[in-house]
Amino acid sequence: MMQIRLMTATEVDAAVALARAAGFRDRRRFFDIVLKTGTCQPLVGTVNGRVVATGLATVNGPVGWLGGLVVEADMRGRGLGRAMTEELMRRLSDAGCLTLSLEATDAGRPMYERMGFRPATLYHQLQADHIDKPPLPPAGAKVRRLQPADLPAVLELDRRATAEDRSVPLAVLAESGGWILEDEAFPHRDGLHRDGLRGFLLPSERDYGAIIAPRFEDGLFLLDLHRSLVPVNDYVRAGIPDEHEAAWRELQARGWQETWRAPRMLLGPDVPWRPDWIWGQINSAMG
């Protein structure tokens, strides 16, 4: 029988190897982030002390995210994926999450539907390579590095966009630096007020970035800024909800390649979010 418990730092190597064997990218940076994020509960499933499954529960206030679900190939078909999902759901419900959210693979979607999840939207993952020259900010805007005093306004804008409380993971990402786009005429003194903030970029991994921008031209700028920040020969990814059709169509017209799409599925009340403000995700397991 599989035993499910919190992951420890000593099990990261086994979790990374499990994901790689299943065809996923290297998740070491992902596990580094979740292990130091207090609202994340990374889990392992073990059989005779060996890691055969992983999963992640992230508490974003009223919305809880499930993700990072991997089961060893030789152990599939024994109900281990469902057992891990049920444990993630239990932990999120116990933490007070009213809506449970996930991005489903084709293989996992039938199981989630049987468990009561329903499709809510579709995420488009698009990819573009590094660019050498940083873009110019849109008219009337200026860009600068994130300062600690900016964080309250960043978190407020993020709550308005996502209808979630992502303050803990975003604060963790901000420790590694980020970028603010604000009105050029805005007088920055002791802190950034909401009316001056036009968007932000918090890179979460080399290719992912949490990007929120209510204005269309600002979102496109922040994505290009991210492209200029990653190393040469690297790339960035945009995560765009289906409702933000103008964005993912414009990116494809500019040469971005859609590499993946996946349904966002919900269990519980709908989320009153602003999908047209969202240009990038922390990752597919944390929102």
At 3-58, the pLDDT tens digits run 999 999 999 999 999 999 988 888 999 999 999 999 999 999 999 999 999 999 99
The verdict on residue 137 lying in a domain is yes
Beta strands in the chain (DSSP E): 3-6, 40-47, 50-60, 63-71, 99-103, 118-129, 141-145, 179-183, 197-203, 209-212, 235-241, 257-267, 278-280
pLDDT tens-digit readout, 82-98? 999 999 999 999 999 99
**What does pLDDT average to over the chain?**
93
What CATH code is carried by the domain that includes residue 31? 3.40.630.30
Residue 67 belongs to domain spanning? 3-97
How many independent structural domains does the chain possess? Answer: 2
Residue 81 in tokens: 């994926």
pLDDT of 190: 44
The verdict on residue 107 lying in a domain is no
The verdict on residue 258 lying in a domain is yes
**Are residues 269 and 219 both part of a single domain?**
yes
**Are residues 223 and 274 both part of a single domain?**
yes
**Are residues 145 and 81 both part of a single domain?**
no
Q: Please, which pLDDT band fits residue 197 given cuts at 50, 70 and 90?
A: very high
pTM for this predicted structure: 0.93
Specify whether the CB–CB gap between 208 and 235 falls below 8 A.
no
The verdict on residue 111 lying in a domain is no
- Whether pLDDT at 193 is above 70: no
pLDDT of 187: 55
The verdict on residue 41 lying in a domain is yes
**Are residues 130 and 229 both part of a single domain?**
yes
**Are residues 143 and 90 both part of a single domain?**
no
What single string gives the DSSP state of each residue in 167-201? HHHHHHHHTT--EEEEETT---SSS--GGGEEEEE
**Are residues 77 and 144 both part of a single domain?**
no
Q: Please, which pLDDT band fits residue 230 given cuts at 50, 70 and 90?
A: very high
**Are residues 17 and 139 both part of a single domain?**
no
